[in-house]
Amino acid sequence: MGAEELTLRLEDVLAVDADAFQRRAMAEADDIVDAIESGAFDNHQAIVGFEYEFYAVDRDTGALRRVPRRLLELMGFEKELGLHNAEMTTSPQPLNADGLRAQEAEICARLRAAQSVANAEGMQLVSDALWTLPPAGESARAYLTDSVERTIGEGGEGSDETPQERTVTLAANMSDAARYHAMANTDRADAAGMVLDCPNVSLEAQTVMPESLITSIQPHYQVPHAPDLPAYFTYALRIAGPLLALGVNAPFLPADLYDDEVTPETILEDAWMEHRISIFETVLNDPSAGAGKVRFPRDIDSVGDAVARIASDDTIVPMPVETGHRFDDDFAHFRRKHGTYWRWVRPVFDGASRSAANARIEFRPIPAQPTVRDSVAFLATFAGLLESLTRLEHPVRELDWAVARENFYAAMRDGLEAEIHWITNDGQETTDIDALYEDLFAHAEEGLSSQGLSEDEIAAYLYPLRRRVRQRQTPAAWKHDRVAEEIENGQPFDSALESMQRAYIERQRETLFGGSFSEWKGE
C-alpha cells in the first residue's frame, strides 16, 4: 500500500465518531452478557491456542531486515507493527495429548515453510524478545523515529463539521495497517507515552513505532464454562510473575539507544531481565493520563465485570466496523476494543459462529523464546496450571493482588533472582525458589495428567522449564553473561552486544526445531 492510499484509509479511521462507537460497544456488551448467561460461550472442554511473533534479520549479518509484504503472504503469516515483524496464530485445539501435539506440529510446519521463503531472500525469522541490531547502515534511533507528514481532510459524509485540513504523522517503518498509524493521530493520542523509559535509555518518538522493538508468545486458554472465567483469571494473575521469571529474554536494547555518558559496567549492573515489559508500557502509556492501558490487571469479580471492563476501556482508535454473517459480528464494535485492551493478562470473547464462540484468557507476559520446544513448554505449563489450580482450588488464589503484581515486576527486573512470593499447596507462604517451582510444576503435571497426557509426555513438555530452574539460567541471563564476558575481555559495549546477538541467532538456527534452550548452557 502506498502512502497516498494509507493516508486515505487513515482519514476514514479518524472520521469515526468516537462517542457513537463507544455507545455501540457498551450496548453490545449487554448482549454479550445475555449470550454468556444462555451458554453461548461455553465449551465442553478446555481449548488452547497460540500466537507467535518473530522479527526478520539478514542471514549473514544478523542485522534487522524489512519483510516485503508479498513475502508475508507467501509465508502465510500476518503483519505486525513493524515492517520487520511477522506473526503466526495457530488453530485452537482441545487441551489433550493430541491437541498439544497438533499445536507444536502446526507451529513447526508453518514456521519451516516461512523460513524457507525467508531463506530464499537471504533472511531468517528470529524468535527473540527484542532485536538489538538495526538494519545495515541505519541506527536504531532513526529506524524507530523516522516519519513523514501528510495532509488529510477532516469531517466529511455523515459529519456536521466543515471538512478541514489537518496534518498526520506516518511512521516510515511501520506496517501499512491504518490502526497502527491512527494511534499517533487521534484525539486520544496524548494517552500514549510514545517514549522509551528504561535504565540508561531515553527516546522520544512521534508514533508508537518503538513498540516494534519487542516480540512475544501468547498462550490462549478457552475456559469450558464462561461464567467461571474469573476463577481462572485469578490464577493466571498469580502465576504471571513465576512464569515471566522463567521466560525473561530481553536484558539489552540496541546500543545507540543508551545515553551517551553511560558506561558498559553501568549498563550491565542496571539491566532489567525483561525490558519488553517496560517498553510496551512506556510507549503506550502516558504516566500523566492515569493508570495507562498497558498494565497488570486487577482481579475480576464476575464474567460480567470482565465484559464491562473491556467495553468501558479508553478507546484510542475507534475503527470503522464492517459486519457480515459471523456470530461475533453482532458485537463487532466490542470486538474491535479487544485489539487495544492492552493488559498483561486479558479476557477475550469472540467466535465466528455460535458453536465456536468462546471466553478465553490470553496470557501476554512471556517474550518470544529461543526454540519451539521452549515456546510450547510455556503453553503446556500455562494450560496445565489453569486446569489444575482452578479445579483443586489451590490456596495461592489467596495471595494478595498487590503481592502478585509486585511479583510480576520483580520478575521483570531480576528474572529467576527475583524475590517472588508464593503460597504452596499446603498453605505455606514462601519465597524459596525451589519450593515455589516444585509446587508449580507439580500442579502443571497434575493438570496435564487430568487431560490424559502420559508421564513421559508431561515430562517432555515441562523439561525445558524445569532445567531453567535447576540451572538457574534464563535466556536473559545467557545474554547478560555473554555480553559481560566480552566486556571483561576488553570489547566496547556495542561490539559485545553484536557478538552476543549474532551468537543467539546462530545458536537458534541450529536448535529452533529440534532442541531447547537448556542445551545452550555454558555456550
Q: What is residue 133's predicted lDDT score, i.e. its pLDDT?
A: 98
Q: How much is the pTM?
A: 0.95
Q: Which residue, among 232, 245, 229, has the nearest Cα to 394 in the 3D structure? A: 232
**Sole residue written with cell 529452533:** 512
pLDDT in tens, 313-347: 988 888 888 888 889 899 999 999 988 899 999 99
Mean pLDDT of all residues in the chain? 93
CA–CA–CA angle 214, 220, 223 (5° rounding) = 155
The answer on pLDDT for 162 being more than 50 is: no
Nearest to 513 by CA among 117, 97, 127: 127
CB atoms within 10 A of CB 307: 26
pLDDT for 340 equals 87
Tell me which DSSP letter residue 228 carries. Answer: G
What is the predicted pLDDT for the residue at 213?
Answer: 98
The closest alpha carbon to 191, from 311, 320, 283, 280, belongs to 283
Residues in the chain: 523
CB atoms within 10 A of CB 186: 20
User: What would the mean pLDDT of 370-393 be, rounded to a whole number?
Assistant: 98
Given pLDDT bands bounded at 50, 70 and 90, which one contains residue 254? Answer: very high
pLDDT at 2 over 70: no
pLDDT of residue 105: 98
pLDDT tens per residue across span 281-321? 999 998 777 788 999 999 999 999 999 999 999 888 888 88
Mean pLDDT over 120-134 rounds to 97
Rounded Cα distance, 43 and 39, in Å: 9
Average pLDDT over residues 76-91: 94
Report yes or no: 286 and 197 within 8 Å, Cβ to Cβ. Answer: no
Judged against a pLDDT cut of 90, whether residue 120 lies above it is answered with yes
Q: Give the H/E segment covering residue 52.
A: strand 47-58
Query: Cell 541490531 appears where?
Result: 133
Cβ burial, residue 206 (10 Å; 0-12/13-18/19+): middle
The answer to whether residues 178 and 196 touch, using CB atoms and an 8 Å cutoff, is: no
Residue 156 has pLDDT above 50, yes or no: no
Nearest-angstrom CA–CA distance, 60 and 241 = 36
Asked if the model's pLDDT at residue 204 lies above 50, the reply is yes
Task: State the pLDDT at residue 158.
Answer: 45
312 torsion bin: left (phi>0), alpha (psi -120 to 50), beta (else)? alpha
18-75 per-position pLDDT tens digit? 899 999 999 999 999 999 999 999 998 999 999 999 999 999 999 999 999 899 988 8
